[in-house]
Structure 1
Amino acid sequence: MHKAPIPHALSTACAALMLALAGCAVGPTYRAPATTGTMTWHAPVPHDGQAGALQDWWAQFNDAALTRFIAWAEADSPTLTQAWASIEKARATLTTARAGSLPVLTATAGATRSGGTAATSATTRSAGLDASWELDLFGRARRNTEAASARVEAREADWHDARVSLAAEVADTYVQVRACGLLADAYERELVSVTRTEATTATMVAAGFTAPSDGALAQASLASSRSAAINQRAQCALLLKSLVYLTGHDEPELLATMADGSTAVPRPAGLAVDSVPAQVLRQRPDLASLERELAASSAEIGAAQADLYPSLSLSGAITRSLSQSLTTWSFGPALSMSLFNGGARRAAVDNANASYTSALAGYQLGVRSAVREVEQALVNLDSTALRATEAHRAAEAYRRYLDATEANWRAGTASLLSLEEARRSALSAEIDDLTLTQSQVSDWIALYKALGGGWTPGATVTTNKNGAPS
């Protein structure tokens, strides 16, 4: 006997019902991208016997001003406030997504006053309850909840990343301020020496013991030294403005805080980088954020695919007429399915797949960038350490050379030109020494940030008693 063909819509509905009875959620099952555990560093790894942990690393600087500045910055940072607001928005979205799988109950009440031409009137009062519940047959609500939950974790990781970046920026700026102050002192000492040389030379020119050209050279050297000193003070002022911007405190308070401590460039304990890249990658909150975004994109594919299938909802209502003591009720299921939508729902699936592909590429790019940042920080740190050692030796040697040349000049066995050349060489060497000392500390800070800055995977953001993130 010939059987009539089953309509496509009916067959789809039957398949949907079978899948629903099986309790399945459509869409891919997410698995985090695997990282290769055999990767090795291709850069010099520091092992100086002073390995310090990432946790509480700033305390190892033993600098009270630095610790206080970082605390000030974290307590009043618009960047962290924005990151915290993003967490709040993501959590609100998660609450909304969870509500999508729950029944909706609405209470109604009303009173109506009516009348006619016969001057009669009546009041009708009623109250009722309406309930509706869309069954999550194909996991759309579950997938949306998964996506929203992953994005909460991503925003929390973003907050930790912002916190690590802020601390590193404050510390690096503070180190530059300290180094700038030492450089300014060097220029000021040099200016004092050059001023004395110019005055002595002017006296000798006036007495006829020295050629006028030596007087002109001394004056030019004095003007150049003054310009360099002014420029260095300006650079220090600019760096101090940056600290004001980062901490939210005014200059007098910053200067008073720094005056209580040492003027030397603070130096931290070293960091041992003996983990393979795959392990280090799990320590970075920015990569955790990218991975959670990838998980959210995967869940959204399932949510989009669930829209291709029928939806089943249950609804009911109870209405009580208080005027007539009459109660009515209704209850029943409703099955709906889109028969024609111009390809919009299929396009939504394609869009979700494309978003996942983009998120995966973003994560892979983030992994490459993380490895690059760590290896570049290692190379810079190794190079700077070697150069700093040589620069310190050069500074000491040039200073001895300047002292000897100045003694010879006062004894009349060296020319003013030789003295000024020796002075410029000594100053240049001292500047290189101080600059490389500051660069070495900055490279340690860059490595600290590249390694994740002490963030622990899975760490959540909580609030203190004042409602602020902690």
Structure 2
Amino acid sequence: MYTSRCALWRTTLRLCAIGLTIALGGCAVVGPNHAQLETKTSSAWQAPLPHGGQVAALGDWWSQFNDPELTGLQRSAESDSPTLAKAWANIEKARATLTSARGSGLPAMNGQASVTRGTQQTGEVATARSAGLDASWEIDLFGKIRRSTESAQARAQAREDDWHDARISLAAEVADTYVQYRACRLLADAHAQELTSIGKTVKATESLVRAGLNASSDGSLARASLASTTSAGLAQSAQCELLVKSLVDLTGRAEPQLRDRLASGANRIPQPGAIDIQSVPAQALRQRPDLASAERELAAASAEIGVAQADLYPSISLSGSINVSSVSMASSQTTWSFGPTLSLPLFDGGKRKAAVDSARAAYNAAMADWRQSVRTAVKEVEQSLVRLNSTASRTEQAERAAQEYRLHVVGIEAQWRAGSASLLDLEESRRQALAAQIELIGLQRDRVEYWIALYKALGGGWQSHTPAMSPEDLDSLSKTSP
């Protein structure tokens, strides 16, 4: 009996030694090893580069608008953004998952202790005390834990990239809405100026009608033009109000305070500086956090194949326990146990094999998502470049048209006062001038919006390994920024 116990003990020690040697010496890690993917894109942008590709940094691009109100709105949006708060919560959740995955590869220990007091059959009062310690450690033979940690780490990095993408999108949305608001106010001013001019025409026409110098139909035409322009002006003012509501939603500012700040700013469309777009597509796309996130999701899916494959193989865990107990003043008793546990997957109806197939399918889906994201990114940049080039040429022509139409109105109005032109001619020239002015303002607005779209398409100045910021840090940054 003693000999058999010694043999069992020696066998247990050998298994423990083998397990420790494997664990410390490095085990075979099953599953594919993810490598950084190369984007297969053209060597140069196909669309024309605005301003000849003049170089300017993306990181401080917003400051080049030279519009303190825009900068202030963006700071407010960042400091109180539910979108960024949610993105940060997702980062914390992913980091907690990573910590849990890492902890799975470390020994686990649990302790317990108890004290009870009671009456025995003899009538004596006895106190029972016990304490114990349990420990277990799963040896990562085939890299299941390491692959799980690798997957969790990749997803934590993806969530940080998502935060940066959300921040860039928020900045672009605030800027886009602000530009629309400034353009809207300019359009409202154009309608107001036109209303003032038409109001004078109505008064003059009614005087001529009463004097019998003009037909009554001229008075009707003038009043119809006034009503039509008034309606258009009211619709434009309503659009401006809607944009204010959008800015309140984006920034979290109180509406009265926001209106005061907007009223104090210059009533113009802010103009940005140029952007560095000379780099080839592959270089530019490495600056997009959404593509970085997609690549990290692909890495996580690759690691999960290894997790599923490791489940096909045996697993070994070491466990042990020690307990000490005593009753009243009696001597204490100590019991202990220690040894390995071997788990062999024998039959599961194909469940583990199906898990591997599922993990491979998830990887293929992630690969397809990444490839589509790259194509979409290239398309967004190319389209932004085309739109910028088109609006630049159209804006020049629109400026010339608006100037000529204004001169035409002045000439026709002089002829009308002299009696050599009809009111119909004057109103037609006014409508043409107003339409030209509206088109010009719209093109100026669109051009800035396309600059903002290009900024977003190029990644907004993001650089890899840039740390994300908590809501508290963003709030502090907003308070310390000028």
- TM-score between the two structures when normalised by the length of structure 1: 0.93
Partner of 1:97: 101
Separation (CA, whole Å) in 1 of partners of 2:447 and 2:279: 22
- The residue matched to 2:70 in structure 1 has which SS? helix
- For 1:294, the equivalent position in structure 2 comes to 298
How many aligned residue pairs are there? 456
Per-residue deviation at 1:346? 1.1
* CA RMSD between the two structures: 2.0
369-378 vs 46-55, greater mean Cα deviation: 46-55
CA distance in 2 between counterparts of 1:467 and 1:439 reads 30
* CA positional deviation for 1:364: 0.2
Q: In the alignment, what sits opposite 2:392?
A: 385
Separation (CA, whole Å) in 2 of partners of 1:306 and 1:469: 46
Equivalence for 1:461: 468
Q: Which runs of 5+ in 2 are unaligned?
A: 1-14, 478-482
Question: Which region of structure 1 is more displaced relative to structure 2, 239-248 or 48-57?
Answer: 48-57
2:350 pairs with 1:346:
no
Show the counterpart of 1:8: none
Superposition deviation, residue 338 in structure 1: 2.0
Amino acid across the alignment from 1:332: G
Matched, 1:355 2:362: yes
What corresponds to 2:200 in structure 1? 196
Partners in 2 of 1:169 and 1:191 — Cα distance? 32
How far apart, CA to CA, are the structure 2 residues paired with 1:258 and 1:467? 23
**Which residue, 334, 357, 365 being the options, matches 2:372?**
365
CA contact under 8 A between 2:80 and 2:475: conserved in structure 1? no
- Matched residue of 2:201: which SS? helix
Amino acid at match of 1:215: G
Residue in structure 2 matched with residue 227 of structure 1 by the alignment: 231
Q: Is the deviation greater in 340-349 or in 175-184? A: 340-349
> Contact between 2:269 and 2:445, CA under 8 Å: does it hold in 1?
yes
**Cross-structure match for 2:458:** 451
Q: Is the 8 A contact 1:463 1:469 kept in 2?
A: no
Equivalent residue of 1:141, what SS?
Answer: helix
- Aligned-partner residue type, residue 92 of structure 1: A
The residue that corresponds to 2:83 in the other structure is 79
Question: Does 1:23 find its partner at 2:23?
Answer: no
Alignment correspondent of 1:404: 411
Cα displacement string for residues 384-434 of structure 1 (whole angstroms, at most 9, x for unaligned residues): 111111000000000000011011111111100000000000000000011
Q: After superposition, give the CA deviation of every residue in 1:333-370 in whole Å (9 maximum; x if it has no partner).
A: 11111212121111111111111000000000000000
SS of alignment partner, residue 126 of structure 1: strand
Deviation of 1:41 (Å)? 1.6
Cα drift, residue 199 of structure 1:
1.2
Partner Cα distance (1:391, 1:270) in 2: 22
Counterpart-to-counterpart distance in 1, 2:302 and 2:29: 13
Q: 1:236 aligns with which of 240, 258, 269?
A: 240
Which position in structure 2 is the counterpart of 1:376? 383
Contact persistence 1:380–1:443 (CA under 8 A): yes
Whether the 8 Å contact between 1:46 and 1:272 is mirrored in structure 2 is: no
Tell me: CA distance 1:47–1:337, structure 2 relative to 1, closer, same or farther (3 Å). same
Q: CA deviation at 1:469?
A: 9.5
Q: Look up the match of 1:414.
A: 421
Q: Provide TM-score, normalisation by structure 2.
A: 0.91
- Provide Cα deviations, 1:249-302, integer angstroms capped at 9, x if missing partner: 122212222233321110011113111111111000000000000000000100
| Post-superposition offset of 1:115 | 4.4
Q: Matches of 2:473 and 2:457 in 1, distance apart?
A: 32
Q: Secondary structure of the residue that 2:51 maps to in structure 1? A: coil
Once the two structures are superposed, the pairs formed by residues 221-370 of structure 1 within 5 Å of their partners are: 221-323=225-327, 324-370=331-377
The question of whether the paired residues in 2 share the 8 Å contact of 1:74 and 1:163 is answered with: yes
1:122 Cα deviation from its structure 2 partner: 2.9
Q: Give the CA deviation at 1:465.
A: 6.7
1:164 matches 2:168: yes
Deviations 1:222-273 (A, max 9, x none): 1101101111100110111111110011222122222333211100111131
* 1: CA distance, partners of 2:127 / 2:428: 107
Contact (CA 8 Å) 2:80, 2:471: kept in 1 or not? Answer: no
2:475 and 2:139 map into 1 onto residues whose CA distance is: 38
- Hey, what does 2:211 align to over in structure 1? 207
For 1:172-191, what aligned pairs fall within 5 Å after superposition? 172-191=176-195
**Offset, 1:31:** 1.0
The answer to whether the Cα contact below 8 Å between 1:19 and 1:138 also exists between their aligned partners in 2 is no
Runs of at least 5 residues in structure 1 that lack an aligned partner in the other structure: 1-12
**Secondary structure, in 3 states, of the residue corresponding to 2:213?**
coil
Match of 1:6 in 2: none
Q: Given that residues 50 and 270 in structure 1 are in contact (C-alpha distance below 8 angstroms), is that contact kept between their aligned partners in structure 2? A: yes
Answer yes or no: is 1:151 the counterpart of 2:155. yes
8 Å contact from structure 1 (residues 127, 322) kept in 2: no
Structure 2 Cα separation of the partners of residues 176 and 141 of structure 1: 52
Contact residue 79 and residue 471 of structure 2 kept, 8 A? no
Q: Deviations over 1:138-183 (max 9, x none)?
A: 1111000000000010000000000000000000100010010011
Distance 2:334 2:73 in 1: 69
Give the superposition deviation at 1:22: 5.9
Distance 2:474 2:97 in 1: 20
